[in-house]
Structure 1
Amino acid sequence: MRTEIPTVDLKEWQSHGPGRRDDETAAAVDTALRETGMFLLTGHDVPRASGEEFREAGLSFFRLPRETKLRYEIQGQYDNGWREVHRNVGIPDAAVNGADTAPDLHESIYVGPTHRTGDAHFDGLFYPANRWPEELPQLQAAADAYTAHMVRVAEQVNGLFADLLGLPRDFFNSRARKATWTQNVSWYPSLSRLGQVGTGRMRNAPHTDLGTFTLLNRQPGKGGLEVWNEVDGWFPPAYPQDSDTLIVILGDLMELWTDGRWRALRHRVPAPGADAAEDEQVSLVFFFEADPQALIEPLAAPVGGGRGLEPAVAGESILGKLGVPLTPA
Structure 2
Amino acid sequence: MTFEVPIIDITAFVTDGDGEARDAVARAIDEAAGTVGFMQVVGHGVPQEILENFAAALDRFFGMELTVKKRYRVPPPINRGYSPPKSESLSLSLGVAQASRMNDFFEAFNIGVAASEHPGLDLSILDYAENVWPEEIPGFREPVEAYFAEAARVARTLATAFARALELPDGYFEPFIDHSQDVLRMNNYALPPGTVDIDGELTGMGEHTDYGILTVLWADQVAGLQVLGADGVWHDVVPADGALLVNLGDLMARWTNERWLSTLHRVKPPVVNGTIERRRSAAYFCDGNADAVIETLPSCIGEGSKYEPVTVAEHLRVKLAGSRYLQPNTSAPREAARVLAAQRGERP
TM-score (norm 2): 0.83
In 1, Cα distance between equivalents of 2:69 and 2:282: 19
Alignment correspondent of 2:288: 290
User: In 2, Cα distance between the equivalents of 1:305 and 1:37?
Assistant: 22
Task: Report how far residue 174 of structure 1 moved.
Answer: 2.1
What are the Cα deviations for residues 244-280 of structure 1, in whole angstroms up to 9, with x where unaligned?
Answer: 2000011011011111111112100101234372510
Residues matched between the structures, number? 320
Structure-2 change in CA distance of 1:199 and 1:170 (3 Å):
same
Alpha carbons 1:61, 1:136 under 8 Å: kept:
yes
Q: CA deviation digits over 1:136-187, x for unaligned, max 9? A: 1211111111111111111101001001011112111221111011112111
Distance 1:304 1:34, change over 3 A: farther
Q: Say whether the 8 Å CA contact 1:104–1:201 is kept in structure 2.
A: yes
Unaligned 5+ segments in structure 2 are 326-348
Q: Distance in 2 between matches of 1:208 and 1:135?
A: 34
Structure 2 contact 93–319 (Cα < 8 Å) conserved: no
CA distance in 1, matches of 2:90, 2:127: 16
Q: Is the deviation greater in 122-131 or in 248-257?
A: 122-131
- Quickly say closer, same or farther: Cα 1:221–1:20, change in 2 above 3 A: closer
Per the alignment, residue 88 of structure 2 pairs with: 87
For the residue of structure 1 that corresponds to 2:125, the secondary structure is: helix
Q: Secondary structure at the match of 2:277?
A: coil
Taking the aligned partners of 1:29 and 1:283, their CA distance within structure 2 comes to: 23
- Is residue 2:298 matched to residue 1:310? no
Alignment of 1:245-324 (within 5 A): 245-275=243-273, 277=275, 279-302=277-300, 306-323=304-321
Structure 1 residues 156 and 90: alpha-carbon distance in aligned structure 2, compared to 1, 3 A threshold:
farther
Residue 212 of structure 1: aligned partner = 213
Assess if the C-alpha contact under 8 Å between 1:55 and 1:185 holds in 2.
no
Q: Contact 1:261–1:304 at 8 Å: present in 2 too?
A: no
- Contact 1:209–1:264 at 8 Å: present in 2 too? yes
SS of structure 1 residue aligned to 2:227: strand
Which position in structure 1 is the counterpart of 2:70? 70
Pairwise mapping of residues 99-248 of structure 1 onto structure 2 (< 5 A)?
101-116=101-116, 122-189=123-190, 192=193, 194-222=195-223, 224-237=224-237, 239-240=239-240, 243-248=241-246
Q: Distance in 2 between matches of 1:120 and 1:159?
A: 24
What CA distance in whole angstroms lies between the structure 1 residues aligned with 2:303 and 2:84? 39
Q: Which amino acid aligns with 1:265?
A: T
Letter in 2 for 1:283: S
User: For the Cα contact (< 8 Å) 1:114–1:127, is it kept in 2?
Assistant: yes
Aligned mates of 1:262, 1:78 — CA distance in 2: 30
Do 2:11 and 2:17's aligned partners in 1 also have CA atoms closer than 8 Å? no
Deviations 1:206-235 (A, max 9, x none): 10011101111010123x211012225211
Report the CA distance between 1:191 and its aligned residue: 7.7
Q: How far is the alpha carbon of 1:120 from its aligned partner?
A: 11
Deviation of 1:64 after TM superposition, in Å, equals 1.7
Secondary structure of the 1:256 match is helix
Q: For the residues of structure 2 that align with 1:72 and 1:304, how far apart are their CA atoms?
A: 47
Task: Please give the alpha-carbon distance, in whole angstroms, between the structure 1 residues aligned to 2:305 and 2:100.
Answer: 27
Inter-CA distance 304–169: structure 2 relative to 1 (3 Å threshold): farther
Q: Distance in 1 between matches of 2:272 and 2:70?
A: 30
Task: Give the whole-Å Cα distance in 2 for the aligned partners of 1:225 and 1:239.
Answer: 10
Cα distance in structure 2, aligned partners of 1:126 and 1:274: 40
Q: Identify the residue that residue 342 of structure 2 maps to in structure 1.
A: none
Contact 1:191/1:279, CA 8 A, preserved across alignment: no
Using a 3 Å threshold, how does the CA distance of structure 1 residues 305 and 41 change in structure 2: closer, same or farther? farther
Cα distance in 2 for partners of 1:94, 1:126 equals 22
Once the two structures are overlaid, the 10-residue window that deviates more, 39-48 or 300-309, is 300-309
**CA 1:120/1:101 → structure 2, altered by over 3 Å: closer, same or farther?**
farther
Q: Which residue of 1 aligns with 2:7?
A: 7
CA shift, 1:19, in A, is 4.7
Deviations 1:113-142 (A, max 9, x none): 133356999431111111111111211111
**Structure 2: which amino acid aligns with 1:137?**
P
Which stretches in structure 1 are left out of the alignment for 5+ residues? none
| CA distance in structure 1 between the partners assigned to 2:164 and 2:258 by the alignment | 18
